[in-house]
Structure 1
């Protein structure tokens, strides 16, 4: 009876212990649903060379929420990547598509509904190749720095979701010691990675610490080709009109070389015709 009277009194005062407990359970459920669970599947196609493979390994080392899978044999119909991401419990996907064993294209997609961005990767330099002096702890969370131009183009927020390591990610350390920079120059996205180095205060200024940035690597440049509404398919939201395929660039270089060779051959032929058609006077010093 005493417990019944306590419950009735609590209901009159508006402090029902049962309802408060339900509210706590509800708030905990809401907290669980609001957690940032970003997992990225990193996968490549067949024909990847050693430099491109090292770049993929460097990105996996920088981002502890990356998951790797076997190489994809499909050369078209990349919608199967959505199923692979679902099997690996990932909601983002990075796909390295290699063509002609030399051209690298990077797909960044928000699976399974999109959007997705297709880049052409240029000027690749890996960590081992650069041999920079910077060094950050493996698994630490980065600060993502974007150029102010990104604010005018909201579709680039997909890059933030992919490279931003969530707080509760697997193998992630609870501190930040490096900065990933995305800057736009020459209509391309330049990727740089820096370590945050804190030096001890000097004798003159003992209060403020000296913070500097030391580059770690890797380096590469992304040229946007297309942005699709869906994941690896769908309607085209944006198409870069100034993009020229590397195959077309090589074809133009070969055409220029062939044109120069053809002009040299024609000039030699014209000189030969002129010499044969010219009527030279008799030279008495010429011996028969």
Structure 2
């Protein structure tokens, strides 16, 4: 009886209480909408056998692009279409591929994977960040302003390259590895049928710039329809391969040597024809008076025969 009375009293007290639901810490917060819409990823890597200068340039490009990914060096015996498979495995839709030939010629590929287009350039006048040692300094991972020359709108192939560079070098907005600052300018200029690339830091609001590197010049070789191959959309008529340049230099050096040998032969032939500057008369020495004891050479023998 006593137990029943206690239970009934506890039930009446519970009816009068206001039950407040407790906040459980394990409740999941509402899902947030991501702002990272442009998910461009660029694969930056090289082939085996590259020089230290090209390797440092590749590392500088990776530093400038927070949306880039790296991979191991590719074997030089592999075909270029293998790069498309590597980009697919790395979940990248753009690629910058550095390769070196004959341990002295540096090339770079820019490609839109997997459908193309792609462009091949010869690298010239390469200077890295550590080599320049400029006074400028910018925040790592900051988003750049891309500056293009007016000549990029003059013809179709330059416009195509401009769009390709915009998609590759522009850091996507709200990228996880990027910083919400714009404190540098990446400049692309066309001069002497080449693309000159410079990287500047914005020092103040008045627009003053300071170069921070790297700097390099790209000489266009060819533009392909596909990624690392396909039909040729444009071929640079002003391009001269490094092999042809070295061949021209060797011919110039050989021409100098041939001219020198020919001039020497002509000089020897002229000397044989004119051994004496003027003709001598054998009777000119008839009246020379020389003592027999002072005579030397042929004259001495003459005196002995006469005596």
Q: Give your verdict on TM over 0.5.
A: yes
1:238 corresponds to 2:240: no
Map of 1:169-208 to 2, 5 A cutoff?
169-198=175-204
Measure, in 2, the Cα distance between the counterparts of 1:123 and 1:163.
20
SS at match of 2:262: helix
Task: After superposing the two structures, state which structure 1 stretch, 214-223 or 162-171, moved more.
Answer: 162-171
SS at match of 1:98: strand
SS at match of 1:70: coil
How far is the alpha carbon of 1:64 from its aligned partner? 0.7
Give the direction of change, closer, same or farther, for the CA distance of 1:282–1:71 in structure 2 (3 Å limit): farther
Per-residue deviation, residues 52-73 of structure 1 (Å, max 9, x unmatched):
1111111111111111111111
Match of 2:244 in 1: 248
Match of 2:40 in 1: 38
What 5-or-longer segments of structure 1 have no aligned partner?
1-24, 199-208
Measure, in 2, the Cα distance between the counterparts of 1:210 and 1:150.
26
How far is the alpha carbon of 1:77 from its aligned partner? 2.0
Per-residue deviation, residues 75-122 of structure 1 (Å, max 9, x unmatched):
452000000011111100001110011111110000011000001110
Give the count of matched residue pairs.
Answer: 249
Match of 2:261 in 1: 265
Task: After superposing the two structures, state which structure 1 stretch, 34-43 or 249-258, moved more.
Answer: 34-43
For residue 214 of structure 1, the aligned residue among 207, 210, 213 is 210
Assess if the C-alpha contact under 8 Å between 2:193 and 2:238 holds in 1: no
TM-score (norm 1): 0.81
SS at match of 2:185: strand
CA RMSD of aligned residues (A): 2.2
For residue 160 of structure 2, the aligned residue among 155, 161, 183 is 155
Map of 1:51-200 to 2, 5 A cutoff?
51-75=53-77, 77-152=79-154, 153=156, 154-156=159-161, 157-198=163-204
Measure, in 2, the Cα distance between the counterparts of 1:253 and 1:76.
32
Give the direction of change, closer, same or farther, for the CA distance of 1:282–1:102 in structure 2 (3 Å limit): same
Map of 1:12-31 to 2, 5 A cutoff?
none
**Large movers: runs of 4+ above 3 Å:** 281-285
Per-residue deviation, residues 159-208 of structure 1 (Å, max 9, x unmatched):
1111111013341111111010001111111100010112xxxxxxxxxx
TM-score (norm 2): 0.76
How far is the alpha carbon of 1:211 from its aligned partner? 3.3
